[in-house]
Amino acid sequence: MIGDVYALISFFRKMLDKQSLRAAAANAGFWFFTLLYMEALLHEMLFDKVDALFWYTAGFTAVLALVLSTLLGLLPEKANRIVTICLVSALSILFCTQIVYHAVFGSMYSLALVGMGGQALTNFWRETLRTIRENLPTLIAMLLPIAVAAVVTVKKKSWFALGLQPTRLVSTLLAGAILAVTLSALRIGGTGFFTTYDFFYGANTTTDQAAQRFGLLTTISLELAGSSKEDSDEDEFVMPDIPATTPAPTTPPATTPPDTTTLPGQTTPAETTLPPVTEPPIRYNTLEIDFDYLNTLTTDDKLLQLNAYVRSLAPTQQNEYTGMLADYNLITLCAESFSTAAIHPEVTPTLYKLATEGFIFNNYYNAYPNVTTDGEYSFCLGLWPDTSRSKSVSSFYASRSSYLPFALGNVFADQAGITSYGYHNYLGSYYGREQTHPNMGYTCKFMNDGLKLSSSWPASDLEMMEQTVGDYITADKQFHAYYMTFSGHYKYDRENPIVKRNYDLVKDLPYGEAAKCYLAGNYELEKALSYLMAELEKAGVADKTAIVLAGDHFPYGLEDWQYSELIGYKIDDFSKYKSTLIFWVGGMEEPVYVDEYMCNVDILPTILNLWGFPYDSRLLAGTDIFSDGEHIAMLRDQSFLTDKVWFNASTGETRYLVDKSQLPENYVEDRINLVKNKFSLSKNILNKAYYNFLFEKGNVEIDRYSWWNEVKKDE
Query: What's the confidence (pLDDT) of residue 313?
Result: 96
Q: What is the pLDDT of residues 314-346, one digit of tens each?
A: 999 999 999 999 999 999 999 999 999 999 999
b/e burial code for range 170-199 (CB count within 10 A of at least 16 → b)? bbeebbeebbeebbeebeeeeeebbbbbbb
Query: What's the confidence (pLDDT) of residue 119?
Result: 60
Q: Which residue has the higher pLDDT, 711 or 456?
A: 456
Q: Is the pLDDT of residue 253 over 70?
A: no
Distance CA 645, CA 374 (A): 26
Report the Cα 187 to chain-centroid distance in Å. 28
CB 594 within 8 A of CB 627: no
What's the whole-number mean pLDDT along residues 403-415? 96
Q: Which of 606, 554, 611 is nearest to 580 (CA)?
A: 554
Q: Is the pLDDT of residue 612 over 80?
A: yes
pLDDT cut 90: percent of the chain above it: 71
Query: What's the confidence (pLDDT) of residue 245?
Result: 40
The three-class DSSP label of residue 37 is helix
Query: What's the confidence (pLDDT) of residue 5?
Result: 54
What Å distances lie between residue 464 and 259, 335, 446, 515, CA to CA? 74, 13, 9, 25
What's the whole-number mean pLDDT along residues 581-605? 97
What's the whole-number mean pLDDT along residues 670-678? 95
Q: Is there a cis peptide before residue 527, judged by omega within 30 degrees of 0? A: no
- Round the average pLDDT of the chain to a whole number and report it: 87
353, containing H or E segment: helix 349-356
Q: What is the pLDDT of residues 258-273, one digit of tens each?
A: 333 333 333 333 443 4
Q: Is the pLDDT of residue 16 over 70?
A: no
Instruction: Give the length of the chain.
Output: 715
Q: Is the pLDDT of residue 176 over 90?
A: yes
Q: What is the pLDDT of residues 675-700, one digit of tens each?
A: 999 999 999 999 999 999 999 755 66
Query: What's the confidence (pLDDT) of residue 135?
Result: 92
Q: Which residue segments constitute the domains of the chain, with CATH numbers given?
A: 2-230 (no CATH), 327-632 (3.40.720.10)
The three-class DSSP label of residue 594 is strand
What Å distances lie between residue 158 and 155, 170, 690, CA to CA? 9, 19, 59
DSSP 590: S
pLDDT cut 70: percent of the chain above it: 85
Q: Is the pLDDT of residue 160 over 80?
A: yes
Query: What's the confidence (pLDDT) of residue 233?
Result: 39
DSSP 505: G
DSSP conformation letters of 154-221: HH-GGGGSPPPHHHHHHHHHHHHHHHHHHHHHTTTT-SSTTSHHHHHH-TT--HHHHHHHH-HHHHHH
What's the whole-number mean pLDDT along residues 266-288? 61
Dihedral (CA of 643, 645, 646, 647) sign:
negative
Which 3-state string (H, E, C) describes 556-578?
CCCCHHHHHHHHCCCCCCCHHHE
Q: Is the pLDDT of residue 393 over 60?
A: yes
Q: Is the pLDDT of residue 277 over 50?
A: no
What's the whole-number mean pLDDT along residues 540-546? 98
Q: In what order do the strands lie in the sheet with 420-424?
A: 450-451, 442-447, 420-424, 480-484, 329-335, 545-551, 582-585, 359-361, 592-594
Q: Is the pLDDT of residue 586 over 70?
A: yes
CB 427 within 8 A of CB 448: yes
List 519's β-bridge partners, or say none.
none
What's the whole-number mean pLDDT along residues 134-140? 94
Query: What's the confidence (pLDDT) of residue 408?
Result: 98
Distance CA 409, CA 613 (A): 12
pLDDT bucket at 7, cuts 50 / 70 / 90? low
Q: What are phi and psi of 443, to 5 degrees?
A: -85, 115
Q: Which of 645, 642, 643, 638 is nearest to 672 (CA)?
A: 638
Q: Is the pLDDT of residue 352 over 90?
A: yes
pLDDT bucket at 385, cuts 50 / 70 / 90? very high
Q: Is the pLDDT of residue 552 over 50?
A: yes
Q: Is the pLDDT of residue 237 over 90?
A: no
DSSP conformation letters of 205-269: --HHHHHHHH-HHHHHHHHHH--HHHHSSS--S-SSPPPP--PPP-PPPPPPPPP----TTPPPP
Question: Which has the minimum average pLDDT: 212-226, 355-369, 443-457, 550-564?
Answer: 212-226
Query: What's the confidence (pLDDT) of residue 484?
Result: 98
What Å distances lie between residue 219 and 68, 207, 299, 623, CA to CA? 17, 7, 33, 33
Question: Which has the minimum average pLDDT: 101-110, 225-234, 341-350?
Answer: 225-234
Distance CA 715, CA 706 (A): 14
Query: What's the confidence (pLDDT) of residue 107?
Result: 83
